[in-house]
Amino acid sequence: MQPRSTWLISVLAVLVLVAQDFGQQSAPASSPASGSRVHPAPQAPVQPAPDPSAAPLQPASAAKAASPPADDESVATIRRTVNEVNVVFTVTDKHGHYVKDLKKNDFKIIDDNKPVDRISSFVNQTDLPLEVGLLIDASNSVRDRFSFEQESAIAFLNQTIRPRYDSAFVVGFDVTPEVTQDFTDNTEALSRGVRALRPGGGTAMFDALYFACRDKLLKQPHKGPVRRAIVLLSDGEDNQSHVTREEAIEMAQRAEVIVYTISTNISGMKGRGDKVLERIADATGGRAFFPFQIRDVADAFAEIQDELRSQYALSYKPADFKADGHYRTIEIVALDHKNLRVRARRGYYAPAQ
């Protein structure tokens, strides 16, 4: 038998252990230790509202709230698609003169072979800011007339780009496109960019057009609606591009760019390259110029400048818009006005969900 003192010590030890265990179970939960971080539940980022002029029918991603508990159905995810199309176009009479006094009711718009739901905005003789890309063929094929083309391009920029309102950039191309002057409203800097070009090498015209639309105009930030245009000076002969003609046209359409082409072929006969330039201009709502003599290049630049100040701009909602990524045609008709020609881009690509 154990001594009485040893037995009492054992009983007291058991009672202490029981008391400690009971205290831990009944104590309230403690706050995090000083210096530790409390991480809130992660929330999905809120996407910025899309710029309606950045691309045709660009879908908008609505803000998403943090995931609620399983039994909370009070939070919903909202998705919205911006299905408004912006079109810039010109109207000329049978003599080729610009018609600038027409109203919204003078036009009928057909989207994908169906009349549009409504025209939401209409502006004639639009004075929207310009974003102009000047693409100059610097390949060996234009070497003999390169200096004159440079001076004509400089005169165009000086007369077209308004300080603190418009902007332009200069790209020369042979086998690769080269930006000799990025976006600026400084006509002196643009002139230096044009004079920095040096002819030489092959011709990758389609690559240059694709690059100017995708990497320059489509990505250029702006605060409101603008008119995007490219002036392409070339003989139209391409022997180095990685993208096709139609891929370059598609990118111009996605970027809502009007392409004006000026042929440097002064042989007096329309060649294969001239037909390529005509196709590019026609598909984007621009115009192809074919100077007969080298000095007529300056006149072509002057006509482009006049057209850029004689345009209409409208926005509309299609009747049965679907965000399926498909190409949709655009047709604008001048009602009750015979012998008027409307020139606009042929269509656009709807966004894909």
Q: Where are the domains of the chain?
A: 85-124+313-349, 130-308
Q: Which amino acid is at 219?
A: K
Per-residue DSSP letters for 50-103?
A: PPTTTSTT--BPPP-PPPPPTT--------B----EEEEEEEE-TTS-B-----
Q: Residue 100: which residues within 8 A CB-CB, separation 6 or more?
A: 91, 124, 125, 310
Nearest by Cα to 224 from 136, 328, 129 = 129
Tracing tokens 């709807």 back to the chain, one arrives at 350
pLDDT at 321: 87
Mean pLDDT of the chain: 80
CATH top class, domain 130-308: alpha beta
pLDDT in tens, 131-145: 999 999 988 766 777
Q: Does position 34 have pLDDT exceeding 70, yes or no?
A: no
Query: Do the beta carbons of residue 321 and residue 350 sit within 8 Å?
Result: yes
Q: Does position 31 have pLDDT exceeding 60, yes or no?
A: no
Q: Does position 161 have pLDDT exceeding 60, yes or no?
A: yes
pLDDT at 226: 86
State the pairing for strand pair 114-115/107-111.
antiparallel
Q: Residue 320: which residues within 8 A CB-CB, separation 6 or more?
A: 112, 114
Q: What are phi and psi of 277, to 5 degrees?
A: -60, -40
pLDDT at 290: 93
Q: Provide the residue count of the chain.
A: 353
- Can you read off the two tokens belonging to residue 152? 């004509």
Other CB atoms within a 10 A radius of the CB of residue 304 amount to: 21
Residue 228: strand pairing partners: 131, 257
- Can you read off the two tokens belonging to residue 1? 């038998």
SS3 content of the chain, % helix, strand, coil (to 5): 30, 25, 45
pLDDT in tens, 210-238: 999 999 999 998 777 889 999 999 999 99
Q: Does position 320 have pLDDT exceeding 90, yes or no?
A: no
Cα angle 330, 333, 302 (rounded to 5 degrees) comes to: 85
